Amino acid sequence: MSSHASVLVCIPSRYHARRLPGKALLNLGEQTVIQRVYRQASLAAFKTIVLTDHPAIVRSIKSIDGEVVYREQKASNGSQRIFHYLSEIDDTIDPSTIVVNVQGDEPLLNPENIQRLVECFSDKETCIASLYGSVVSPNQYAMAQRVKVNISHGLATTFERIVEPSDKEWHKHIGIYAFRWKTLKEVMKLTPSQREISLSLEQLRWMDHGYSINMVEGFSNGIAIDTAADILEARNFLNS
């Protein structure tokens, strides 16, 4: 990546999560979930900021001297929350700035994943990048919560939630995205596609409108916090 390209790592964190409200503030040892995500992301050594809709999350991040922005504005997903905030300061952001969208519910985030995504943008043709993990085993084909990606020549061909046995090789999708700021502004203006609506996968909108997604092999981020059982699993892992 050019040393002149700037990078901004954004962590959208919504308090009222659908499946586990308040999960960002649940404790994992001596840290909250969102504190741990922030600290792990910061290890990538880029400017890192939490974007939230709740004062308690603001307090949690400020208590560790982290950078956080509070906005009550509703957003349908993390990318939109990032877009809303960065649009406010658009005149201070270079269009080529690399914006990394890190999910706020992955406290075991490997910071190397952020670095690998950023390195993708040394190719000036890269507009959007994401990560893939190991090959999905057949017993996970029907697990809708585990998003799968098929890859050809370094690009995503499609994303699915449920797949059937076939000749295609499916990989686990690691849900971190990076965009050039000018690209994020473009994709936020696109109308939702039928595939996106059907599967609740925003990346399908981008692909259905002709955008390519570069895929880079990443490290597993471990346990995403979606349920009470996930919190227990993460606590057990960190205590082991």
Query: For residue 1, what pLDDT band results from cuts at 50, 70 and 90?
Result: very low
Asked whether residue 238 is domain-assigned, the answer is no
Residue 214 to residue 67: CA distance in whole angstroms = 29
Asked whether residue 141 is domain-assigned, the answer is yes
Residue 128 to residue 206: CA distance in whole angstroms = 9
Asked whether residue 134 is domain-assigned, the answer is yes
Residue 64 identity: I
Q: What 3-state DSSP class applies to 72? A: coil
Q: How many helices (H) and strands (E) does the chain have?
A: 8, 11
pLDDT tens-digit series, residues 61-75? 999 999 999 998 888
Q: What is the pLDDT of residue 206?
A: 98
Local structure of residue 146 (DSSP, 8 states) = S
Give whole-number Cα distances, 186 to 24, 68, 95, 209, in Å: 29, 25, 11, 11
Helix (H), strand (E) at residue 78:
helix 78-88
Work out the mean pLDDT of the chain and round it to a whole number: 94
The tokens describing 238, both together, are 């960190």
Residue 54 to residue 14: CA distance in whole angstroms = 7
Asked whether residue 110 is domain-assigned, the answer is yes
The answer to whether the beta carbons of residues 52 and 14 sit under 8 Å apart is yes
Asked whether residue 2 is domain-assigned, the answer is no
Q: Are strands 148-152 and 214-217 parallel, antiparallel or unpaired?
A: unpaired
- CATH number of the domain at 53, please: 3.90.550.10
Q: How many domains does the chain have?
A: 1
Asked whether residue 1 is domain-assigned, the answer is no
Contacts of 110 (CB under 8 A, 6+ apart): 40, 218, 219, 220, 221, 222
Residue 107 to residue 223: CA distance in whole angstroms = 8
Asked whether residue 187 is domain-assigned, the answer is yes
pLDDT tens-digit series, residues 173-211? 999 999 999 999 999 999 999 999 999 999 999 999 999
pLDDT tens-digit series, residues 99-122? 999 999 999 999 999 999 999 999
Q: What is the pLDDT of residue 224?
A: 86
Residues 149-158: contacts with CB within 8 Å, 24+ apart? 149/173, 149/215, 151/215, 154/214, 154/215, 155/212, 155/213, 155/214, 155/215, 156/130, 156/203, 156/207, 156/212, 156/213, 156/215, 158/204, 158/207
Give whole-number Cα distances, 55 to 33, 81, 145, in Å: 15, 16, 29
Asked whether residue 214 is domain-assigned, the answer is yes
Note down the domain range covering 79: 7-232
